[in-house]
C-alpha cells in the first residue's frame, strides 16, 4: 500500500480525537453544547500541539495557550481543570486512534509476511499523518502522572507485541527464522519510531514515507526470511 491510498481509507484523526475527548469528559467539561465544545477542543489541542512541540509542554504557559488557541484563560479552565489534564486527555485519545487503526488494517491480513509488511507500513503511515502528535507524545510521556505514564508504556508495549506475535507466527509456519522475537520486535519498533523522532532529518534528505517503509521491510526481511 502507498501512503496516498492509506490517507483515503481513514477518517480525519483530528476531529475523531476531539469528539472522543468530548464524549469521555462530558461530566468534567463545564460547557454543554457539543458543537461548541468540539470546535474549541480542536483549537485547544491544535495550539497545545504546536506550542508543545516547539518549546515543550512544561515551558508552554496557559497564557501561551490562550494566545495560541484564541480562547481566554477563563475559557480554557471551563474545558479543563488543570494544565496537566489537557496533556492526559489529549495523549489518551490519540493512543486510542492508533490502536484502532493498526488493528483495523492487521485483521485483513493472514500471511505473516503480509502482516509484517502491514504493521510496518501502517505504523509509519500513522506516524506520518500524526507526526507532531507522536513526537509530542514521546517527548512528554515522562511528565505524565504515574497512572497515565503506565498507560503510555503499555501502549508502547502493545504495538511491540503486535510485531513479536507476527514474528513468532511466521517462525511457527517456517517462513521466518528462529531467534529472540521479542528483541527483534524491539529493534523494529526503534526503526519505526525513528521516522517521527527525526522527521526533520528525513525531510531534508527528501526521503518519503513510502521509501522508508520499503527500506525497513527489506532490512527486516533480510534478517527474518528463511
Partner DNA sequence: GTCTATACACAGATAGAC
Partner DNA sequence: GTCTATCTGTGTATAGAC
| CB of residue 63 to DNA, shortest distance in Å | 5
Q: Which residue do the cell numbers 461530566 mark?
A: 27
Residue 175: which of its own copies, DNA, none does it interact with, CB under 5 to 8 A by kind?
none
31 touches DNA by CB under 7 A: yes
| CB of residue 92 to DNA, shortest distance in Å | 18
Rounded to an integer, what distance in angstroms lies between the CA atom of residue 96 and that of residue 92? 7
Q: Which three cell numbers stand for residue 102?
A: 493498526
75 touches DNA by CB under 7 A: yes
Residue numbers 26-55 binding its own copies by CB under 8 A: 55
- Closer Cβ to DNA, 71 or 102, answer by number: 71
CB-CB neighbours of 18 under 10 Å: 23
Rounded to an integer, what distance in angstroms lies between the CA atom of residue 77 and that of residue 73? 7
Residue 217: which of its own copies, DNA, none does it interact with, CB under 5 to 8 A by kind?
none
| CB of residue 211 to DNA, shortest distance in Å | 40
Size of the site for its own copies (CB under 8 A): 31
| CB of residue 194 to its own copies, shortest distance in Å | 4
Contact between 209 and 124 under an 8 Å Cβ cutoff? The reply is yes
Question: Quick one: which segment of 78-86, 117-125, 168-176, 201-209 binds its own copies (CB under 8 A)?
Answer: 201-209
- Contacts with its own copies, 66-95, as mask; x by CB under 8 A: ------------------------------
Rounded to an integer, what distance in angstroms lies between the CA atom of residue 122 and that of residue 136? 19
| CB of residue 224 to its own copies, shortest distance in Å | 8
| Sequence-separated (6 or more) residues with CB below 8 Å from residue 214 | none
Question: Is residue 27 exposed (0-12), middle (13-18) or buried (19+ Cβ within 10 Å)?
Answer: exposed
The helix/strand/coil state of 81 is coil
| CB of residue 197 to DNA, shortest distance in Å | 25
Among 33, 108, 205, 206, binds DNA (CB under 7 A): 33
- Closer Cβ to its own copies, 33 or 142, answer by number: 142
Q: Angle at Cα 43 formed by Cα 40 and Cα 48, nearest 5°? A: 125
Rounded to an integer, what distance in angstroms lies between the CA atom of residue 70 and that of residue 43? 8
Amino acid at each position: 500500500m502507498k501512503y496516498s491510498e492509506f490517507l483515503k481509507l481513514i477518517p480525519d484523526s483530528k476531529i475523531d480525537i476531539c469528539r472522543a475527548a468530548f464524549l469521555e469528559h462530558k461530566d468534567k467539561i463545564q460547557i454543554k453544547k457539543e458543537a461548541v465544545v468540539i470546535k474549541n477542543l480542536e483549537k485547544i489541542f491544535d495550539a497545545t500541539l504546536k506550542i508543545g512541540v516547539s518549546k515543550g509542554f512544561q515551558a508552554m504557559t496557559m497564557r501561551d495557550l490562550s494566545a495560541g488557541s484564541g480562547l481566554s484563560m477563563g475559557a480554557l479552565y471551563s474545558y479543563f481543570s488543570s494544565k496537566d489534564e489537557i496533556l492526559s486527555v489529549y495523549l489518551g485519545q490519540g493512543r486510542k486512534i492508533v490502536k484502532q487503526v493498526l488493528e483495523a488494517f492487521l485483521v485483513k491480513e493472514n500471511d505473516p509476511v503480509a502482516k509484517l509488511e502491514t504493521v510496518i507500513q501502517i505504523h509509519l503511515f500513522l506516524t506520518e499523518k500524526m507526526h507532531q502528535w507522536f513526537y509530542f507524545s514521546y517527548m512528554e510521556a515522562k511528565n505524565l502522572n504515574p497512572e497515565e505514564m503506565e498507560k503510555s508504556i503499555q501502549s508502547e508495549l502493545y504495538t511491540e507485541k503486535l510485531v513479536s506475535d507476527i514474528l513468532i507466527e511466521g517462525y511457527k509456519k517456517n517462513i521466518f527464522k528462529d531467534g529472540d522475537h521479542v528483541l527483534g520486535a524491539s529493534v523494529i519498533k526503534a526503526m519505526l519510531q525513528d521516522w517521527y523522532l527525526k522527521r526533520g532529518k528525513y525531510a531534508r534528505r527528501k526521503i518519503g514515507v513510502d521509501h522508508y517503509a520499503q527500506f525497513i521491510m527489506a532490512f527486516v526481511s533480510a534478517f527474518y526470511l528463511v
